[in-house]
């Protein structure tokens, strides 16, 4: 399971650490943010202690109107062993009772100048991205005309050489050999390279090359949404390959089905050009222009007209 440490939030959002320094390495396992209004009012039955707790002007104003004894009791209940941290928005003053509870439990208390709503939105987006389900696949990811194309196939089939030709043609490399894929939402997969091999491309017989150094910063991307998969396989004369493009196959990665095309590899075929055209054709299909379907409709109309002439 993916985890984020509280310290990462402090560094990312430049939060002021007010108290609880010993707890900054606590882990966050959910992207949900809690604004504990009901809990402050005394209802702790369903308190989501494992979430980041966000206290804004409304909660702190309500707390300030309590008696000192009640305030101490409620704020102590907010600070549990599971709580990864409590953030105060709008640079508001932190209640002394919360500081005491933090010192007793080790829960980090942080503060920011951001408004509560803005902070909640930014925190949620960041945590959803970092905690998204992730897998790694063997392949090459290239950005072709804005379409993220994942090139798969057996080792040695020519994936990296094809990617090199695509980069020379002005497209951008995202990852070679290993692609880390995160499920951002139900229909979105985002691929990125492992940090160790970022910007690198391995060509058999040549070795490892740095694409950014050779071709410039415009030849690489750090991440890209995966829209299409191209599977390269050695040409099999006994296999029947799709010649019209009417049948659309998909491959399931994590929880998302991605369209996949199988391209046979044999000497004389310019795979880079074919993949480039496949990306452009995929883009046209998303715009509602399907050449294979148009041909099929014309063929159906021609057969119907021929049958009418016979009868």
Which amino acids are annotated catalytic? 138, 159, 177, 243
The 10 Å Cβ neighbour count of residue 201 is: 24
Asked if residues 153 and 233 have their Cβ atoms less than 8 Å apart, the reply is yes
Residue 306 labelled as part of a binding site: no
Closest CA to 204 of 180, 177, 229, 230: 177
**Annotated binding residue 247:** no
Q: Is 218 annotated as a binding residue?
A: no
CA gap 60, 57 in Å, rounded: 5
Q: Are 237 and 265 in contact (CB under 8 A)?
A: no
- Please check if 297 is assigned to a binding site: no
Count of CB atoms within 10 A of residue 282's CB? 19
Give bridge partners of residue 52 from the DSSP assignment.
Answer: 33
Alpha-carbon distance 120 to 109, whole Å?
Answer: 16
For residues 155 and 232, the answer to whether their CB atoms sit within 8 Å is no
**148 assigned ligand-binding residue:** no
154 is in an annotated binding site: yes
Farthest-apart Cα atoms in the chain, separation: 96
Q: Tell whether 240 is in a known binding site.
A: no
16 is in an annotated binding site: no
- Which uninterrupted H or E stretch holds 213? helix 211-215
185 is in an annotated binding site: no
Query: Number of H helices and number of E strands within the chain?
Result: 10, 19
Helices (H), 169-207: none
Q: What share of the chain is helix, strand, coil (3-state, %, to 5)?
A: 35, 30, 35
Q: What are the φ and ψ backbone dihedral angles of 187, each rounded to 5 degrees?
A: -120, 10
225: its two tokens: 């949404």
Q: Which residues carry a binding-site annotation for Mg(2+)? A: 160, 202
Q: Which residues carry a binding-site annotation? A: 153-160, 202
Q: Which residues carry a binding-site annotation for ATP? A: 153-160
């Amino acid at each position: 399971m993916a985890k984020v440490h509280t310290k990462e939030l402090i560094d990312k959002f430049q939060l002021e650490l007010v108290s609880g320094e010993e707890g900054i390495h606590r882990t966050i396992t959910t992207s949900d943010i809690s604004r504990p209004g009901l809990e402050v009012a005394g209802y702790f039955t369903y308190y989501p202690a494992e979430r980041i707790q966000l206290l804004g002007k409304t909660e702190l104003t309500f707390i300030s109107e309590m008696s000192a004894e009640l305030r101490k009791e409620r704020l102590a209940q907010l600070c549990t062993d599971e709580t990864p941290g409590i953030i105060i928005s709008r640079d508001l003053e932190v209640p002394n009772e919360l500081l005491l509870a933090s010192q007793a439990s080790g829960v980090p208390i942080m503060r920011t100048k951001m408004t509560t709503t803005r902070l909640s939105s930014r925190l949620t987006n960041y945590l959803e991205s970092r905690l998204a389900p992730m897998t790694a696949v063997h392949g090459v990811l290239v950005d072709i005309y804005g379409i993220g194309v994942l090139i798969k196939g057996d080792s040695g089939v020519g994936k990296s050489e094809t990617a090199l030709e695509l980069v020379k043609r002005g497209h951008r490399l995202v990852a070679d050999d290993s692609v880390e894929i995160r499920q951002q939402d139900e229909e979105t997969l985002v691929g990125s390279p492992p940090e160790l091999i970022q910007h690198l491309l391995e060509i058999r017989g040549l070795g490892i090359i740095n694409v950014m150094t050779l071709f410039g910063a415009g030849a690489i991307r750090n991440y890209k949404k995966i829209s299409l998969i191209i599977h390269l396989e050695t040409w099999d004369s006994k296999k029947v390959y799709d010649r019209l493009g009417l049948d659309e196959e998909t491959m399931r990665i994590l929880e998302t089905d991605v369209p996949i095309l199988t391209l046979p590899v044999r000497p004389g075929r310019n795979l880079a050009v074919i993949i480039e055209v496949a990306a452009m054709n995929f883009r046209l299909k998303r715009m509602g222009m399907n050449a294979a379907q148009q041909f099929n409709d014309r063929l159906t109309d021609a057969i119907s007209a021929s049958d009418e002439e016979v009868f």
